[in-house]
Amino acid sequence: MVAATTKIQIPRPGASVGVDVQHEVEQFLYFEARLLDERRFTEWWELFTDDIHYWMPVRYNRQFRELDKETGRPGELAHFEEDKLSLYQRVYRLGTAMAWAEDPPSRTRHLISNVWARPTATESELDVQSAFIVYRNRGDYEVDIWAGRRDDVIRRVDGCWQIARREILIDQATILSKNLSVFF
């Protein structure tokens, strides 16, 4: 006698974008990574909307029953919480002799994968989630590897994609790097 098999219901994501838009979004994120790896920071900064919120909350180790408290909330402690002006100040500073944490400059490689784009209630915006690994080498012996997820809202402005919101959820609860002077 053969036992009856039970079909497992796998939750399906909500509405998705078409293949052409998905490809466009992926190419946009890959281009952004290239700008960062080539240290073209001013061009990278121009990919953001004027109302950008660029945020990396602190991650905490929590027990399973408290996983809803694993990341900080807006207004709480964050590795960075930036707007367009503060991002510009960081970019500008990298071009001066005053950015000691980046002298000599870091060599980075931004790997972006698992891109998932969904429409939002606003026609010109998409909710985009992606996984990343950022590798950094600085000097002779400094090596850092950060992994995590980015939750973005990208907006079509004058026919081009721009980033309107970025939340960076780094997988490490304790960051052992000497600094976080690179962009994600």
Ordered by start, the domain boundaries in the chain are 19-170
Mean pLDDT of 172-176: 88
CATH topology of domain 19-170: Nuclear Transport Factor 2; Chain: A, (3.10.450)
132 contacts 110 by C-beta, under 8 angstroms: yes
On the question of pLDDT at 157 being above 60, the answer is: yes
On the question of pLDDT at 11 being above 50, the answer is: no
Question: What percentage of the chain exceeds 70 in pLDDT?
Answer: 92
Distance (Å) of CA 138 to CA 9, 31, 106, 132, 181: 47, 23, 5, 19, 11
